[in-house]
Structure 1
Amino acid sequence: MLVYHLPGTLDTREADLDLLWAAGATGLEERGGVVRAYFDTRTELPPQVSDGEWREEADQDWLAEFKRTLRPVRAGRVTIVPPWLREEVEAGHLPLVIEPGMAFGTGHHATTRLAVESLSALNLATLGPQGTGARVLDVGTGSGVLAIAAALLGAGFALGVDIDPITIPIARENAQVNGVPASRVRFAEGTLGEDPLTFPDEGVDTYDVVVANLYAELHDLLAGEYAAQLVPDGALILTGILTVKLPLVRAALDREGFTNVQETLDGEWALVTARAPLG
């Protein structure tokens, strides 16, 4: 078995995990302060992950072990589970089924869980025009977990956008697995700043909720676009923020006139919520 040992944890090396999947990793796990990436053959890896080392190890059923240790993630009224744990969702909770490793955002990282919890705390079913359900924009959608969660929680519809075209068909498949029709959630390649970023066939160019699981520097760069996409007093949910970078995000939101800024901390990670300017 060929295993690439990368120093760090799944949290500290979060930004590098997609690079390992893209390079051909067949599985990832954390053990003893080391991220272990399993490969069928030795391959050239990007510079960002060049600080590890290749090792030949005895064959083992790593997939069985991975499945054995993976547990459901409760996030507000939603429980995020892999397909083989669907039956373990507690009564009264909304199951959100995501296949681990398909794309970034499986719910097992604090940033995704915090965002789903924040969406769950909003009454999405009663927001939007005439209380028909919130219009939600998920920026950097990845596996689509946040857009799908919004739809399950009662949003009228959600649009997930990502600059990585590989994620879009995966997000669409995840929506189908969870029984969310295309009339309720759509996914598209794109980024903020495209004028307008509309929900296909609906003519919507502003949203009641914008949620983004990115990182502090991108939140700083996109703060003005977040404001432009939101209705007055619309809800903004930002995560993927290291606590040491909170001042950068606070300053960006203050610069763009956001109000009611609140923070939720989970270890080294933070979630920030705010309200869009009134006009």
Structure 2
Amino acid sequence: MLVYHLPGTFETREAQLDLLWEAGATGLEERAGTIRVYFDDRADLAPEVSDGEWRQEADQDWLAEFKANLRPVHAGRVTIVPPWLTGEVPAGQVALIIEPGMAFGTGHHATTRMAVEALGELELSGRTVLDVGTGSGVLAIAAALLGAGHARGLDIDPITIPIAWENAEINGVPQGRVSFAEGSLGLDSDAPEPACDVLVANLYAELHDLLAGEYAVTLRPGGPLILTGILGSKLALVSEALEREGFSQLQVRQDGEWVLLTARAPQG
């Protein structure tokens, strides 16, 4: 089996993981500070991920090993688990079942976990929630399971949409309570997103900066905003963008190098 050993972890190399899938990777695994990338054949890699080492190794069932090492993730009121670990969800916890795959969002990343925790601290009963950059749908599905009247997920990558629908079906969330679509805020002025009560987005800091005005327009006055995917070194960029657009009550949580920022939409 052909394995490419890349220094780093899923967290430190998150921005480059899609480049590996695009190069033809058949699987990714993190072990002791190294990302093991499985390929059928040697591939030409982008410069951002070319600092690793190719190795020919004995065949093994990497998927079985990955499943054996995956553990439930506790995120406030929610426990995120793959389908084969549903029996390990503690009593009283909301079970969020996510099938790991190419659309990252198993809950193991700090940004996903913090966002699910923040959603669990809100009263979502009957409210509309918009998840921008939904990926595997984990945040929209979490909102629906936590009582949202309707949760909508948007993503510019069309490959994520069927995966998100599959995850919603696995969790038994009816289509009337959740929906997913290709797109983003501000890309189609002829069909703007309707106003929502809560907006959550797990994106890079630069995208939050770019979309801050759209967040203000889309959220109802005073509505909660939950932003993550932000490196601590980029926090000021996002904070200043939100303050510029009139957001208030900014609060910061940090887990390692990653930050979650909550705020309230302008009051009119």
TM range (shorter): over 0.9
> Aligned to 1:136, which of 121, 129, 144?
129
1:64 Cα deviation after fit = 2.0
Measure how far apart 1:26 and its partner are: 2.3
- Identical aligned pairs, as a percentage? 73
Structure 2 distance, partners of 1:22, 1:256, is: 36
Match of 2:265, as an amino acid?
Answer: A
The one of 137, 157, 169 equivalent to 1:164 is 157
Which structure 2 residues correspond to residues 204-215 of structure 1 after superposition, within 5 A? Answer: 205-215=194-204
Aligned length: 266
Give the aligned partner of residue 192 of structure 2: 197
Q: Look up the SS of the partner of 1:191 in the other structure.
A: coil
Alignment partner, residue 260 of structure 1: 249
Shift, 1:22, TM fit: 3.2
Aligned pairs (5 A) from 1:68-83: 68-83=68-83
Runs of 4 or more off by more than 3 Å in structure 1?
A: 195-198
Specify which of 242, 258, 276 is matched with residue 231 of structure 2.
Answer: 242
Partners of 2:53 and 2:65 in 1: CA distance: 22
CA contact (8 A) 1:162 1:188 kept: yes
TM-score (norm 1): 0.92
In the alignment, which residue of structure 2 is the partner of 1:130? none
1:179 equivalent in alignment to 2:189: no
CA contact (8 A) 1:18 1:103 kept: no
In structure 2, distance between residues paired with 1:225 and 1:113:
24
Q: Does 2:212 match 1:217?
A: no
Determine if the alignment matches structure 1 residue 108 to structure 2 residue 108.
Answer: yes
Decide whether the 8 Å contact of 1:18 with 1:104 is kept in 2. Answer: no
Give 1:134's aligned amino acid. Answer: R
SS at the partner of 2:86? helix
Q: Deviations over 1:231-274 (max 9, x none)?
A: 00001000001111111111111100000000001011110000
CA distance in structure 1 between the aligned counterparts of 2:225 and 2:160, rounded to whole angstroms:
23
3-state SS, counterpart of residue 171 of structure 1: helix
SS in 2 for 1:67: helix
For structure 1, the 5+ residue unaligned runs are: 126-132, 199-204
Amino acid at match of 1:85: L
Per-residue deviation, residues 32-90 of structure 1 (Å, max 9, x unmatched): 32211111222233333222222101122222221121100011111110111011111
Q: Any unmatched runs of 5+ in structure 2?
A: none
SS at match of 1:161: strand
- SS of the aligned residue for 2:108 comes to coil
Between the aligned partners of 1:269 and 1:73, the Cα distance in structure 2 is 17
State the SS of the aligned residue for 1:101.
Answer: coil
Give CA deviations for 1:162-220 in whole Å, capped at 9, x if unaligned: 1101111111111111111111111111111133434xxxxxx1001010000111111
TM-score by length of 2: 0.96
Counterpart AA for 2:28: L
Q: 3-state DSSP class of the match of 2:65?
A: helix
Which residue matches 1:145?
Answer: 138
CA distance in 2, matches of 1:92, 1:26: 37
